[in-house]
Amino acid sequence: MRTSRIAFWTTVIMAGVLLTAQPAAAAGTTRLAGADRYATAVAVSQRYAAPVPVVFLATGTQFPDALSAAAAASALGGPLLLTPTAAVPDNVLAEVRRLQPQRIHVVGGTGAVSAKAVNQLKAIAPTDRWGDVDRYATGLKIVQNAFADSAPTSAVIATGRSFPDALAATGGAALQKAPVVLVDGMQSRVPNGVIQTLKSLGVRDVTIAGGEGAVSASIANQLSASFAVTRQGGPDRYDTAVRLNEHFFGAVGATSTFLATGANFPDALAGAALAGSRGAAMYITRPDCLPESVSDSMHRLGGSSTTVLGGPGVVSDAAASGLRCLTSAAPSISGSPVVGETVTANTRGWTADTTFTYSWAADGATIGGAKGATLTVPASAAGKRLTVTVRGSNPGYVSVTRTSGPSAMIGTPDRTSPLPDWSCPSWAPIKGNADSMLYHVPGGAFYDRTKPEECFATEAAARAAGYTRSKR
């Protein structure tokens, strides 16, 4: 199974800002990326062939307005572009001109997109502003304007406090021609205007994106009085995206998939509108690797192509190529932390079939030659603390390195065997002669010539073993 998964992801095209519009993503995986969030949005927009009925423009410095606009842009058949507040960049203006839109909708108030920016756009096509007093009122206005003529029977409710859940819902919402409505999920109720708007549009079914930590149970109960409500939420943002896509696409499959980082929003915003226009499943990923649940769902839904949003700094080449995230845990050390004893590195809680390499250290200094899961504690570690670093590797996964916490301070035993040259280690310098049952201390007349059978850390330990101190 792993081999087929890896093969599925092998074709990865690293693309910068696209210079010409392309009607569809080619088979395999395409990366859409630019030098910054605005250029990345241009790269996404260039997947639309001109002319387009509409272009949406939102601030690229915050996510709520663009999140609300993504589903609307999908419904109205146009791209979503981003801009700084003060003025529209030249490359964004050039893209708007290329698109030849019939109308431009600017999302948010003047604090999000300035009057100057709107005037720049009015020189290209008729432009209006869809904005209100806050992110929630702005989002509701977008829904009212964009979906007034489409009579949606379904809607998605998502928190406006964070971006991943609404972002992941966009593709599935577009499949059902449903608006995405942002609410303050930490409140106990949504404003009456939300329910009135949904009723006026003809909505009967509501999907809540995210668990109760994102949209409260009391909001779900409030909505249930007017609509048939289902909740799709997982233990984290990645699993929530999986559950949303399985909910919307599970019965029909996905013709294509989009992949964006779940760690930050800018590169994903414009891509959400494109995903919605394609009816594609929208997933989010960790920057360094693909969560296992995401990988499994992408293969289950069977999309024939994948579009990666953003450069390798936001979605790594490993994640883009489908390398999965290893489940891992910091190792622990068991055994007696005493010189000469054996200690063991324990690696529980990792993905099955993971193989490990080991590196041991005492107070941060590597213990040379110690490469296995077990270590015979060397005398050089006395008085120090051990740590072990393990590197886990597994075909189809990104390798992970984890380090244990420090052991207890390494102690020394009362007695030990002599070294190969018949000397005693520095921590047990007292020599015991089994023939005479005498022990010799450093500096004694016979110390250097004595070949000990045992070495002791203290005279008390030697006496306890039945030895008598030499008189010379």
In tens, the pLDDT along 350-397 reads: 999 999 999 999 999 999 888 899 999 998 899 999 999 999 999 999
Q: Which pTM does this prediction carry?
A: 0.81
pLDDT, averaged across the chain: 91
Q: What is the pLDDT of residue 20?
A: 26
Please check whether residues 446 and 374 belong to one and the same domain: no
Q: Residue 423 burial (CB < 10 Å; 0-12/13-18/19+)?
A: middle
Render pLDDT for 303-351 as a digit per residue (tens, 0 to 9): 889 999 999 999 999 999 999 999 999 999 999 999 989 999 999 999 9
Please check whether residues 84 and 142 belong to one and the same domain: yes
CA separation for the pair 32, 273 (Å, rounded): 14
> Would residue 244 count as lying in a domain?
yes
> Would residue 447 count as lying in a domain?
yes
Radius of gyration of the chain (CA): 33
Domain that includes residue 446, residue range: 415-469
Count: domains in the chain: 3
Q: What is the pLDDT of residue 13?
A: 28
- pLDDT tops 60 at residue 232: yes
Q: What is the pLDDT of residue 25?
A: 31
- pLDDT tops 80 at residue 290: yes
Please check whether residues 233 and 290 belong to one and the same domain: yes
Amino acid at 421: D
Please check whether residues 229 and 347 belong to one and the same domain: no
Please check whether residues 162 and 177 belong to one and the same domain: yes
450 Cβ contact list (under 8 Å, min separation 6):
431, 433, 440
CA separation for the pair 160, 179 (Å, rounded): 14
Please check whether residues 258 and 369 belong to one and the same domain: no
- pLDDT tops 70 at residue 18: no
Q: What is the pLDDT of residue 27?
A: 42
Q: What is the pLDDT of residue 369?
A: 85
- pLDDT tops 60 at residue 23: no
The residue from 403, 423, 448 where one domain ends is 403
Please check whether residues 145 and 116 belong to one and the same domain: yes
> Would residue 53 count as lying in a domain?
yes
> Would residue 300 count as lying in a domain?
yes
Q: What is the pLDDT of residue 161?
A: 95
Amino acid at 418: P
> Would residue 408 count as lying in a domain?
no
Please check whether residues 314 and 429 belong to one and the same domain: no
> Would residue 409 count as lying in a domain?
no
Helix (H) or strand (E) holding 2: helix 2-8
Select from 161, 299, 309 the least CA-distant residue to 237: 161
Kindly report the CA angle at 179 between 36 and 202, in degrees rounded to 5?
A: 170
Please check whether residues 79 and 24 belong to one and the same domain: yes
- Break the chain down into helix, strand, coil percent, rounded to 5: 30, 25, 45
Give mean pLDDT, residues 411-418: 91
Render pLDDT for 24-65 as a digit per residue (tens, 0 to 9): 333 488 999 999 999 999 999 999 999 999 999 999 999 999
Give the rounded percent of residues in the chain with a pLDDT score beyond 70: 94
Q: How confident is the model at residue 168 (pLDDT cuts 50, 70, 90)?
A: very high
Amino acid at 44: V
Please check whether residues 257 and 382 belong to one and the same domain: no
- pLDDT tops 80 at residue 15: no
Q: What is the pLDDT of residue 265?
A: 87
| Contact by Cβ (8 Å): 82, 37 | yes
Which of 132-136, 243-247, 300-304 shows the lowest per-residue confidence on average (mean pLDDT)? 300-304
Please check whether residues 396 and 419 belong to one and the same domain: no
Q: What is the CATH number of the domain that holds 356?
A: 2.60.40
